[in-house]
Chain A
């Protein structure tokens, strides 16, 4: 084992060594001659004559001569008489000017708004006007602080084609991002790159640190990331300083969060009445605790007992600045969020340093990002059937009380013949779970300009993610059902290291009407993961270290490694700003595959046509800007576990033997290897239009795409009789997503009022073309603790389509039961009046899983977001709305709460249960439910469409003259509301469901929340999303 590690280490060193050879080889490159040069000085301003700091001035054709303007816009450069100077500044039209003897005055004109942007693409940037791929971008300044700790949550609905869903309401739980639908059945999470370095997620990035977030959606844009890009790429660029006067900014936000909607469940008296009716109907004795309903009163409101107003606070301080030779940006932040469920919470500390330094032909820079996060989590269920505290709070019978001072631990709980639902307050206080995560991201680069336009860059990236899990059980006796005689502790440490090495050569030149941007590179990336765990039982009260435990100890640990070696190349060519061509290629070699299929090639090509720049085009028309784009490319996915290609022997499958009953160590092959698996490949075609209308006040981006994934990597279920413990990963099928996405933006002003309207619309269709053995069905989406699956993935339908037995009304009379027969036998022999009639879809005369039929898709027909922002004098306002339409949600919590079959609390809907006198749509109350009214069926499938007022923010900027005396540049104060209201028919906590992810560092979102579980509200472990009100201040010095 150690041998392989050292081989890997050696290869890292080898790669580093290679890079330095390359640098040495290039350093001795061209020496510039500047004969007879004189010093030319000048000033660069914008159209309003305001000085532009940081503009670049160079002798045309000799970028290495470049200097930047200072805070007053002044530059000084050595140039030969008559040589042309090129003056450039991002967002402005470049200008050429002849060097003379007198001081130059250069006035730069701004570029039209939409073309102004620089879009970050992999390994470089491109001006939006030259862009041929589908890239959705958002500027840091547009990511408004909304009193949410997680920046990605505020992006919901703002990026066309990008679905952002909460991964649970737990503080710090993060989001799930899906780009252009679900293109795989495994891990559908995009590739996240922060300042050039791959990270597991971006939940730990502070929104005030973000300069831009760019989402590469189509193959042409993403192909440069090859085998990891099939699910799209999210590029986060953190803020850089700007040359000029240092800027010091301080932002703070303080807010409060509340549960948006409580589940309507029965109080003690109501519960006893329903329970008694259910027992009477079943011919069973009533429960002792329910015998006297009227004496019970309302009992305990378990939801009130765990939900609270969560206070949250955020503070960010940043300092940035720079000179001609360098720029810097340093920021720090603190974020503290109490969960709306008692005890739970999230804290984060951020520190970030970023700088660039230029000298002559050399440029160096780095990003260092340090974060520390701490979660206080909810327990995940105590062996019983309540699940987490939120699930327990809805199901716990209100007759039981919260506290019992005489019990070990101090809490009361359930007793008698009821289902094992734990006291949620006890759960929260008797098990302490926290997770701390320290994240280091360091990235440094050196760049040298070898020839005009030709640069070599060496980039070294490193991340170290160090997680520490702590789980302490206090000894307790909670009611009669939950007993934990000793204090126990378990601790676990995990560490992920990533080393990245990139060598790139880039070339950027204009030749007359030709412009060429080329890139070639070689990269190496190594990821190492290790895990150690230890636990011990029987600790003294108040002590929480392993050494103190007197009972059983257990330990565990493992490690994995994966390597990726790649060569890449790209050319972006444009002719006369009219015809654009982008071609890219990447070849990846991955250690995750066996030797036969180790390498994959990922080419892409895209073309663009700026019609508006054609001679024949009438510039003054209604559409002054118009560009057509088309692209095609191949992307890959390698997100499977490591070492899947070899047949492994699993160990610690132990048994007991001998008179002394000792442990007998066991080991054997338990699963089949997948020696021949290969890359999952996604072919994407995209056509798009970018247009500016109404004097470019209205900007529009429209794309249509087809994304076909073949050789989908999937653990395909094999027969249990094959004897394997897990399903082997195979290249199992083909999926297709196609859709439209539209982004609109209209900005204008009327007098002092500046306003902006924006919106996005995404329409995505998802279809499984072929799967496994052909008739393969893959089931998923378990909705309750013991419930049957709800979804099927099979050829011809969407991924994880709802596939359910259909509920077909209620039998109102015994005749109706008797008439529902086939060849003389009753279809539902166990039914009585008041029971649900199920549809015998296959006509075999009985109700079984074979009667499941397609009942809808968890994917919306369309998703949208729209908003408005306005400024009037010192006031500003932001509104944002967002929603989905046409998707279904399976309400797992309702399946439990409306069941009346088991002994726990029920929904208030059961007050209206069917009786012979009162025919309703809620079936009769009957314990043990012989007709399975509560079986997994279409009865619990609901519309998931919703429309939400996501954000309302009103701000006031204090007048500048008064601030100056206080040495302040600007001060803005605001009030903000998040999730103000939601219009939906969905009856669960929230239509924006999400199963909690237990390990936030996990890159494999699917393992914890699962593509095949989409649209299934597993209420059992829910954590509802909160409504937030907050106030904030933004101060610049």
Chain B
């Protein structure tokens, strides 16, 4: 019997010794935060993960749902009742659990979390030069600033998170007033503008430049009514060292063949590379293009025809003909409709059915030179378009600058910038002598047709205080459900309220 005891005792001792090692396993699939942040390549990969969210299919502001969200509420836009949460936001019947709004909120904060990680860990990469470090810090602040910008215009009040959570209580942050969010946007963009480069070598084209930070800073000041600051920032972009210019052909801004062009201030990069599934989530199977074009394309070319321009937009384009008495070239580039000789996806337009009772379809950003929307290299069912989304164009800089000047009463100074836009559109010079109101009316008209489908219309109307009248005067489906103030902003997402004890719903949504 003793033998047994001894054997057992030996066994127990041996086991105690080896068990510890046996149970100490490292994840073979992933490296940990302890071993990351050693090289410049680590920093660059972290940036890819932060930028990628701009294009995130389900909540990136320039991914398909984001584009539907930013445009969907405008008086120029219709969304059909196929994906119900999109239909609801576009008809002002959305409630706090709206998936599109929730996802935009979440994706902005994911990007902010990633930008904050870069800011907190950059000093662990000891091989960086001072200049490189400063440029990376500026770039991370740019990403953070843009995301707070998106939060401010869509939600108003929002939690300010400038550090990564370290312990459980850090998960729960109360919201800050909208003014504080704007202050943070401006601070981040000011810091970013100071240290970002003017341009990048060819392999890095598409990242944030100094010009992009200045333009967004100007835009933030315009949105908050700081006309002087807005004008200062925006005017600087019309001068050296910047060399932005309008593309001679307006339509070149929306086709894959002319990406990152002279008019592009900040552009969301999309390419039919990577995996084959745009809905795969953040992994190697994810196609790195955008699916927006397939969602918007008509059924006849295997699209999902989720949206349509309203006739209000269709008519707005026709208010002024070109000097050659033709339709505005921007109308040809933005819409497809039935005019003599009209083709769409290389077929006569008459072979397409206008199924919603509106007279046109969106052509801007569609791959309308192909025979069908689904002919990508991947061959997958969910075609992913390579066409970059232009987040901020130089024409926006010019019109914002004109607006900032007009609002200060400097109408004469505003003229040349408006005329640059008109010239490109083959319109005659603006007659002299417009007062502030007349000039603003012209700016509003130009913005509506210049930026249709670019996600600006609703936010423009909001800052001009024109949402009630313009929605009421449109043929938008659901216009009768619009409630002023309430539907100007999205409510705090239901999921955020439910999981964050420090969070309160906005007053208009209580």
Chain A residues packing against B (C-beta within 8 Å): 1, 4-5, 7-8, 11, 14-15, 18, 21-22, 25-26, 28-29, 284-285, 382-383, 385, 415-417, 419-420, 450-451, 454, 473, 477, 480-486, 488, 503, 505, 520, 522, 524, 535, 537-538, 551-552, 554-556, 558-563, 565, 567, 589-591, 595, 598, 642-643, 646-670, 672, 717-725, 730, 773, 775-777, 779, 786, 788, 829-830, 844, 848-849, 901-902, 927-928, 930, 932
Contacts and interface: CB of A to CB of B under 8 A. Distances in A.
Given A649-B32, A663-B271, A669 B117 contact: yes
A648 B4 contact: no
Given A18-B14, A598-B23, A830-B93, A655 B55 contact: yes
A554 B377 CA distance: 13
A651 B11 contact: no
Given A481-B304, A552-B379, A668-B49, A416 B14 contact: no
A595 B4 contact: no
Q: Which 3 pairs show the lowest CB-CB distances between chains A and B?
A: A723-B113, A666-B48, A537-B379
Contact of A672 (B165, B305, B374, B493): B165
B84 interface: yes
Contact of B299 (A385, A480, A721): A480
Contacts of A725: 110, 282
A480 B203 CA distance: 40
6 contacts: A21-B7, A650-B282, A669-B33, A719-B499, A720-B495, A722-B165
Interface of B: 1, 3-4, 6-8, 10-12, 14-15, 18-19, 21-34, 36, 42, 44-52, 55, 80-85, 87, 91, 93, 95-97, 99, 102, 105-106, 109-114, 116-117, 158-159, 161, 164-165, 168, 170-173, 202-207, 259-260, 269-271, 273-276, 282-286, 288, 299-300, 302, 304-305, 353, 355-357, 372, 374-375, 377-382, 386, 477, 481, 493-496, 498-501, 503, 510
Contact of A930 (B93, B203, B381): B93
Contact of A654 (B7, B32, B158, B274): B274
B382 A383 contact: yes
Given A18-B14, A666-B52, A7 B495 contact: no
Contacts of A285: 357
Given A556-B284, A653-B52, A505 B30 contact: no
Given A537-B380, A647-B33, A719-B173, 16 more contacts: A5-B28, A14-B18, A18-B11, A473-B381, A485-B372, A537-B378, A538-B379, A656-B270, A659-B205, A661-B270, A662-B271, A663-B288, A722-B161, A723-B113, A775-B501, A830-B93
Contact of B32 (A417, A567, A646, A829): A646
B82 A419 contact: yes
A870 to B, nearest CB: 53
B54 to A, nearest CB: 8
Contacts of B283: 556, 652-653
Q: Which of A382, A560, A664 has the most CB of B within 10 A?
A: A664
Nearest to A553: B276
Contacts of A15: 18
Contacts of A505: 4, 8
B273 A718 contact: no
Contacts of B12: 522, 567
Nearest to B492: A721
Nearest to B28: A1
Q: Which of B27, B173, B375 has the most CB of A within 10 A?
A: B27
Nearest to A829: B481
A652 B299 contact: no
B117 A720 contact: no
Contacts of B304: 420, 481
B27 A648 contact: yes
A656 B271 contact: yes
Contacts of B47: 666
Contact of B25 (A25, A562, A650, A655): A562
A901 B202 contact: no
A485 B99 CA distance: 31
Given A383-B381, A653-B48, A556 B109 contact: no
Contacts of B87: 928
Nearest to A416: B355
A4 B26 contact: yes
Contacts of B80: 417
Contacts of A786: 83-85, 99
Contact of B109 (A482, A654, A722, A844): A722
Nearest to B105: A720
B259 to A, nearest CB: 7
Nearest to A772: B499
A591 B24 contact: yes
A312 B51 CA distance: 54
Given A477-B302, A488-B379, A552-B378, A657 B498 contact: no
Contacts of B284: 554-556, 652, 654
A723 B109 contact: yes
Contacts of A664: 44, 48, 51
Contact of B28 (A561, A659, A928): A561
Given A591-B23, A666-B46, A721-B173, A520 B8 contact: yes
B23 A26 contact: no
B271 A721 contact: no
Given A18-B14, A477-B302, A562-B25, A656 B4 contact: no
A561 B25 contact: yes
A54 B381 CA distance: 65
Contacts of B161: 721-723
Nearest to A717: B499
A717 B494 CA distance: 12
A454 to B, nearest CB: 8
A661 B110 contact: no
Nearest to B168: A730
Q: Which of A450, A655, A829, A930 has the most CB of B within 10 A?
A: A655
Contacts of B34: 647
Contacts of A788: 97
Contacts of A668: 45-46, 49-50, 114, 117
Given A662-B273, A721-B159, A723-B113, A485 B379 contact: yes
Given A648-B30, A719-B503, A563 B299 contact: no
A488 B275 CA distance: 13
Contacts of A648: 27, 29-33
Contacts of A14: 18
B171 A719 contact: yes
A482 B299 CA distance: 9
Contact of B206 (A556, A589, A657): A657
Contact of A8 (B22, B51, B274): B22
B280 to A, nearest CB: 9
A733 to B, nearest CB: 14
Nearest to A663: B273
A653 B49 contact: yes
B449 to A, nearest CB: 26
Contacts of A667: 36, 42, 45-46, 48-49
A757 B360 CA distance: 74
Contacts of A721: 105-106, 109, 158-159, 161, 173, 496, 500, 503
A661 B498 contact: no
Q: Which of A415, A420, A488, A649 has the most CB of B within 10 A?
A: A649
Contact of A643 (B27, B270, B300): B27
Contacts of A1: 26, 28
Nearest to A730: B168
Given A654-B288, A718-B171, A26 B3 contact: yes
A22 B11 contact: yes
A655 B271 CA distance: 9
B11 A657 contact: no
Contacts of A662: 203, 271, 273
Nearest to A3: B26
Nearest to A11: B22
Contacts of A658: 202-206
